Amino acid sequence: MEYSPQSEKCPLPYSPFKACTVPRPIGWLSTISLNGISNLAPFSQWQNLTFDPPMVMFAANQLSDGRRKDTVVNAEETGWFVWNMATYDLRNAVNISAMELSSDEDEFAHAGVTKAPCHFAPGSRVAESPAHFECKYLSTHRLPGNSNHGWVDVVYGEVKRIHVDDRMINEEGKLNIPKIKPLARLGYYDYTFVDKVFEMRIPGASEKAIDGLEGKS
């Protein structure tokens, strides 16, 4: 099977595009509006960019009526957004927070999660989440789509504060990923979570490269 999505109809009943780029980490992002309303939403188009300094990005498609996502607007207007690690245990709250609600509704309350204060960011963190990044907004790059929903805002930020629950750090000083069980997005309505880890080191890599890949501080 093959086809050109710009000019040919997909021969399958469901597009394979999102199902091929898997698993995708989830950017469970909290922001606050200028009116003080807390927003919480998951984005599966989320990724680290670099580590020195640590920078991240997320991509948010517009709503079908052409409105931009509250997360994007809040990040631009306040200068901050917060990443909360989505886990298997928090899967229901993550799913609820994906609902399209009015901009004046507190989505922490709607998802049934607890607010924890941030160090720099004006909004809140999800207290039940095991790890968080407080991200200072840098810029937005808008890409046109073939429909209102196809337009996308690519938002960049620099991580200014990292929070990790001490109970999720193992004896080596590394995150205990099998214990955390991070949630990840697949295609369609499918998800998965990480509960197995294995290590591979690049043969012949320099000591500096190894330190960078391992994240030694």
Find the angle CA(105)-CA(99)-CA(40) to the nearest 5 degrees.
55
Specify the CATH number of the domain 24-214. Answer: 2.30.110.10
List pLDDT tens digits, range 179-194. 999 999 999 999 999 9
Domain residue extents for the chain: 24-214
Res 214: pLDDT: 74
Phi, psi of 144 (to 5 degrees): -75, 150
Q: Which helix (H) or strand (E) holds 126?
A: strand 124-126
Res 170: pLDDT: 97
Ranges of H-type helices in 79-138: 91-96, 107-111
List pLDDT tens digits, range 119-166. 999 999 999 999 999 999 999 999 999 999 999 999 999 999 999 999
Q: Do the beta carbons of residue 38 and residue 106 sit within 8 Å?
A: yes
Would the pLDDT of 217 be above 70?
A: no
Average pLDDT, the chain: 95
CA 38/CA 57 separation, integer angstroms: 20
Q: pLDDT confidence of 207, banded at 50, 70, 90?
A: confident
> Which SS3 state, helix, strand or coil, does residue 135 take?
strand
CA 181/CA 171 separation, integer angstroms: 18
